[in-house]
């Protein structure tokens, strides 16, 4: 018997970077998959959305901030096979936004120096992104 191929799900995520070079990570809430792990914020791209539109929507919903599209630069892709789907996740960099970053859907937020990111347990898709950010910042 052959296994059914896993669907590929496109998720967009962001590394918000503050003036001190710290990166925002957010704790996934109880009741959701991967609860308690610290992720780069973002979410699924919905039908008919461009990835950047999806990220702008997610940042408003999750963090209460406004980001303009020309402030988002795609940096690196994460690719990871979860149990029921294959996740493909571009990580964007963003250094400018309007509004105060607020945890609207997460259990907590942390601004973390890249060298310290590995102290935080992350979803497996996010973990490889840490080394890329350390090299960049
Ligand atoms: N990830 C992930 N890393 C990461 C994000 C934003 C998301 O590994 N930085 C995974 C977690 C979920 C899937 O991508 O399995 C969809 O993310 P999200 O935040 O939309 O998750 P849920 O829990 O709201 O999704 P559903 O309940 O499946 O709709």
Closest ligand 1 atom, CA of 123?
A: 8
Q: Cα(110)–Cα(121) distance, rounded to whole angstroms?
A: 12
The per-residue pLDDT for 2 is 62
Q: Whose CA is nearest to atom 18 of ligand 1?
A: 43
Task: Say how many C-beta atoms besides its own lie within 10 A of residue 53's C-beta.
Answer: 14
Ligand 1 center–CA 17 separation, angstroms: 21
Strands (E), 21-133: 23-27, 38-39, 42-44, 73-81, 86-94, 108-112
Is 88 close to ligand 1, i.e. is its CB under 6 Å away? no
Would you identify the CATH topology of the domain 8-136?
A: Nucleoside Triphosphate Pyrophosphohydrolase (3.90.79)
Q: What is the pTM of this model?
A: 0.95
Ligand 1 center from residue 90 Cα (angstroms): 13
| Tens digits of residue pLDDT in 52-80 | 999 999 999 999 999 999 999 999 999 99
* Mean pLDDT of the region 82-91: 97
């Amino acid at each position: 018997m052959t296994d059914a191929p896993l669907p590929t799900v496109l998720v967009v995520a962001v590394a918000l970077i503050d003036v001190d070079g710290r990166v925002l990570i957010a704790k996934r809430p109880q009741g959701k998959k991967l609860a308690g792990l610290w992720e780069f914020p973002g979410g699924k791209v919905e039908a008919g959305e461009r990835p950047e539109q999806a990220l702008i929507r997610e940042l408003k919903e999750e963090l209460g901030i406004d980001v303009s599209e020309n402030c988002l630069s795609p940096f690196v892709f994460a690719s990871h096979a979860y149990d029921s789907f294959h996740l493909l996740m571009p990580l964007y960099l963003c250094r400018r936004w309007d509004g105060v970053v607020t945890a609207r859907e997460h259990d907590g937020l942390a601004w973390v120096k890249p060298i310290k990111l590995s102290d935080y347990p992350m979803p497996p898709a996010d973990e490889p992104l840490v080394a890329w950010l350390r090299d960049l910042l």
